[in-house]
Amino acid sequence: MANRTRRLPENVAGDFFVDDSCIDCDACRQIAPETFRDHGDQSSVHHQPAARDEELRALMALIACPTGSIGTTKEHDARAGIAAFPAPVVENIYFCGFTAESSFGAWSYLIVRPESDGGNVLIDSPRYARPLADRIAALGGIRTIFLSHRDDIADHDRYAATFGAERIMHAADGAERLGIERVVQGTGAFRVDDDITIIPVPGHTRGQMALLYRDAYLFTGDHLAWSPARNTLTAFRSACWYSWTEQITSMEKLLDYSFRWVLPGHGRIGSDTAERMHAHLEGCIAWMKER
């Protein structure tokens, strides 16, 4: 819970605030950019919510914050913020909220689809919260948990136990040690079903993988994200834990696939036409080779 005595001086005066425990994960700025900003290495409130929708988004950011760094000076009914998750992103894809400090606030997603199509898929794991689990259950539960890499697994074991879900993870990131049911070996891509292709993309970690859904939605973990500053695709050299050279090679592998959306664990969501995304990816590879 945020401590008002540790309120950052960069916050504007008023109800909502961020304290000095903020780890700069960017979740609040993505969820409620009208309220939260980046003032350099941490987030702060730059505009107090003035409308009901702004307040709801600020409460969602409060709930999603992995370190409990967002607080209020007034009492609020947080149930609306809790009930907003999983939050719709596009079509049948949802953002789970409830980010985990152990994953440095990484985003996890839920693909909701009929059992006949293979059932719901959880992409990486949020922190475990009973209200979120209940909401996921109401949406059909979880059949499969895809863990893109070792950094963003959070409470995967609790969600797997709650829903009897099968987990998929690469051996090179310690899947066997974690008791994962379906352990991926090697670097070859494969189809899980008609809609889902899993693509090993080592680089950020040795066992990093991406998941392509319906040849349109690419879930990338920490491999690839959208840069609002550059208005194109980007990667994170400073957060490459295994091999930048391998990560470039993995980016080149993605040129063989068509997608319109990039949905990362860290970094911003981005979308464009498939043709322009291909061009963005080519530009990203060229940019990476210069680094």
DSSP for 109-143, please give it.
EEE---GGGT--EEES-----HHHHHHHHHTT--S
Token pair, residue 136, equals 């996921």
Check whether 141 has a pLDDT greater than 90. yes
Burial of 161 (C-beta count, 10 Å sphere; 0-12/13-18/19+) = exposed
Regarding whether 63 and 99 lie in a shared domain, the answer is no
Residue 92: which domain range?
A: 85-289
**Domain match, 190 and 100 both:** yes
- Mean pLDDT in residue range 94-106: 98
Q: What is the pLDDT of residue 178?
A: 98
Q: Quick one: pLDDT at residue 281?
A: 98
* DSSP-assigned beta bridge partners for residue 184: 170
Same domain (yes/no): 151, 45: no
Q: Look up residue 182 and give its two tokens.
A: 């379906």
15 and 71 co-located in one domain: yes
224 and 164 belong to one structural domain: yes
pLDDT digits (tens, 9 = 90+) for 214-248: 999 999 999 999 999 999 999 999 999 999 999 99
pLDDT of the residue at 80: 95
Greatest C-alpha distance within the chain: 54
Q: 212 pLDDT exceeds 90?
A: yes
Same domain, 60 and 108: no
Indicate the helix (H) or strand (E) that contains 43: strand 43-45
Rounded to the nearest integer, the mean pLDDT of the chain is 97
Burial label, 195 (beta-carbon count in 10 A; 0-12, 13-18, 19+):
middle
| Among candidate residues 76, 104, 127, the one where a domain is terminated | 76
118 and 8 in a single domain? The answer is no
- Whether residues 262 and 134 share a domain: the answer is yes
Q: Give the count of beta carbons closer than 10 Å to the beta carbon of residue 20.
A: 13
pLDDT over 90 (residue 41): yes
Q: Are residues 146 and 180 in the same domain?
A: yes
Q: Which residue has the tokens 């809609």?
A: 195
Q: Are residues 145 and 194 in the same domain?
A: yes
Provide the residue type at 213 as one letter: Y
- Give a three-class secondary structure readout of 11-23: CCCCCEEEECCCC
For residue 122, which of 135, 114, 111, 133 has the smallest C-alpha distance? 111
Among the candidates 53, 76, 99, a domain finishes at: 76
Is a pLDDT exceeding 90 seen at residue 108?
A: yes
CA pair distance 81, 95, nearest whole angstrom? 13
| 117 and 197 inside one domain | yes
Domain boundary among 52, 76, 100: 76
Question: Which pLDDT value is given to residue 177?
Answer: 97
CATH number at residue 106: 3.60.15.10
pLDDT confidence tier of residue 95, bands split at 50, 70 and 90: very high
Overall residue count recorded for the chain in this entry: 291
Q: What percent of the chain has pLDDT over 70?
A: 100
| 61 & 94 share domain | no
Q: How far apart are CA 100 and CA 68, in angstroms?
A: 10
Total structural domains within the chain: 2
- Residue 42 sits in a domain of what CATH number? 3.30.70.20
User: In the beta sheet, which residues pair with residue 200?
Assistant: 209
pLDDT at 1 over 90: no
